[in-house]
Amino acid sequence: MPTLRERLEAPGAFVIAAELVTSRGVMAQHTGQALHEISHQLAEHPGIDVLSITDNPGGNAMIAPDMLGNRMRELGQEVILHFACKDMNRNGIESRAWKAASANLNNILALSGDYPIAGHTGAAAPVFDIDSVGLLEMLSDMNAGAQETRAPDGHLIATDFYAGCVVTNHKLHEREVMPQYFKLAKKARAGARFVFNQVGWNVRKDDELLRWVHAQGLDLKMVANVYLLTRGVARVFHSGRVPGVVVSDALLEQAERYGGGEDKGRAFFVDLAAKHVAVARGLGFNGAYIGGHMPIERYSEILDRALQYSGDDWIEAAKDLRYDRPGEFYLYGQDPRTGLSDGQRRPEYLERKAKRQTDLPVPVRYRLSRRMHNAVFAQDAPLFDLGTKLYSKLEDAPKSVQRAAHLAEQAAKVPMFKCQDCGDCSLPDIAYVCPEGPCAKNQRNGPCGGTRDGICEVYDTECIWAQAYERLKAYGEEEQMLDGPVVVKDNALRGSSAWANTFLHRDHSTKNEDH
């Protein structure tokens, strides 16, 4: 059987992936048996190329995807294992990756993951020791043969992971959409080779995403997300209870109208999904990722109906998949003929960019912090060498003196930034917004996909990366906000002086600059 890599990279390929959501409890239970049955039916379906197996979706504990992946591999079926960062630290994830590689399960979808909402006797503590970008870099390092001093030749055997990621492009505000694009570029640099976009029913957004990826010259295989709705699921999505997934008022109205019919909207929803597959193929995506709880015959209905849209029929079908929201941001203009993207940056966007107009206020403390950083903490700052000399002397000073210096640092940083004393500071990376306290997932390489209209999925606050985008935009620097190296926090530094770690080249920023 050809691998997913071979399928996606074949000229003119259009790969069909089916999502498998695992169940709770042992496989012997009714839900486990139903999962076992549908997985085998999908593995035998001639129209399905790969099964994509979720990792504790929605923040709930479920059967590990690795077990189901092993069973599918025994049947000769290509699978994608989801690797979420919410439940394991980096060591646990690396161990799991070796397990997958040893079983020849090489297709990995790197995700930050949904915030845990439940657990045994209470809510589980989230981990988020590393994010999706850091995970992609880890997998790339493993593919290169990670250094290992205890190995005979100093390296471990190189793995052969084919890594993918997710981008959430169906966002309302500019300060949400653009950081998602920039993070996607960072994921590509970190080693992502294929991309699933988050669920959405506005193909103008999907067209824009595809055009942006091509304009940036990113070597990514793009797979469009297609989901079979029901009236009940549309209500859930519309309510915002599933982070990152958007059903507009207009689409909910359609779901209510058709869902109240004799067939409960089955014909309408199947046709909508089939059109989505056909439009994805017409736009130039490399495949479609089909999700939703459905019997095996429904997959056949969707795929067969999608094939009925031949030639340019998909352009007409696309008109039925433009469920946008009032005030929704677009980077590119609209083609009046198709209603899709024209690939040209909108004049309104360019004008606001040139004038450095922001939608959020830029606080004075940020403007002062920029000046302080450029004067003292940047490696080429005029006072950086002086700081290095001072903190080098403090290394040999009594512990009481070191503690006093640390307390003075915290007296400045806690009131201004709500510093959590991580010791490996990312304030300069995120326009002086701390990722430790205000960000539920401690995202240091760009935003997760869970915001709704700019607001964090967990805290009722503006996303830290939306704030950073607006602050940097005031200085014309927003497009470079994620150009730097991948940031992975060193937890050994927690509770130590971040200033000392910067001046003495112990934190991530100075280590990256040194290399």
At 437-474, the pLDDT tens digits run 899 999 999 999 999 999 999 998 999 999 999 999 99
**Confidence band (pLDDT; 50, 70, 90) for 150?**
low
pLDDT at 269: 98
CA dihedral 430, 431, 436, 437 (to 10 degrees): -140
Which tokens go with 410? 């915290």
pLDDT at 156: 83
Picking from 58-62, 79-83, 204-208, 342-346, which range would have the lowest pLDDT averaged per residue? 58-62
pLDDT at 165: 98
DSSP bridge pairs for 79? 51
The stretch 382-396 carries a mean pLDDT of: 97
Instruction: Give the strand pairing for 78-84 and 107-111.
Output: parallel
Q: Which residue has the tokens 């989901």?
A: 227
**Confidence band (pLDDT; 50, 70, 90) for 1?**
confident
Phi, psi (degrees; rounded to nearest 5) at 48: -100, 125
Closest to 227 (Cα-Cα) out of 191, 262, 186, 197:
197
CATH of 14-334, one of 3.90.1150.10, 3.40.50.1820, 3.50.50.60, 3.20.20.220: 3.20.20.220
Q: Are 113 and 85 in contact (CB under 8 A)?
A: yes
Which tokens go with 371? 């000046």
pLDDT at 414: 95
Q: Are 78 and 51 in contact (CB under 8 A)?
A: yes
Share of the chain above pLDDT 90, in %: 88
Picking from 50-54, 56-60, 152-156, 483-487, which range would have the lowest pLDDT averaged per residue? 152-156
pLDDT at 28: 81
Query: Rounded distance, CA 429 to CA 420, Å?
Result: 16
**What residue spans define the domains of the chain?**
14-334, 364-514
**Confidence band (pLDDT; 50, 70, 90) for 7?**
very high
**Confidence band (pLDDT; 50, 70, 90) for 58?**
confident
Phi, psi (degrees; rounded to nearest 5) at 111: -135, 145
Q: For residue range 187-209, list pLDDT tens digits in order.
A: 999 999 999 999 999 999 999 99
Query: Rounded distance, CA 448 to CA 131, Å?
Result: 9
Q: What is the pTM of this model?
A: 0.96
Q: For residue range 301-344, list pLDDT tens digits in order.
A: 999 999 999 999 999 999 999 999 999 999 999 999 999 999 99
**Confidence band (pLDDT; 50, 70, 90) for 27?**
confident
pLDDT at 149: 61
Q: For residue range 402-439, list pLDDT tens digits in order.
A: 999 999 999 999 999 999 999 999 999 999 999 998 99
Entry field: residues in the chain: 515
3-class secondary structure per residue, 200-212: CCEHHHHHHHHHH
Neighbours of 147 (CB within 10 A): 10
pLDDT at 344: 98
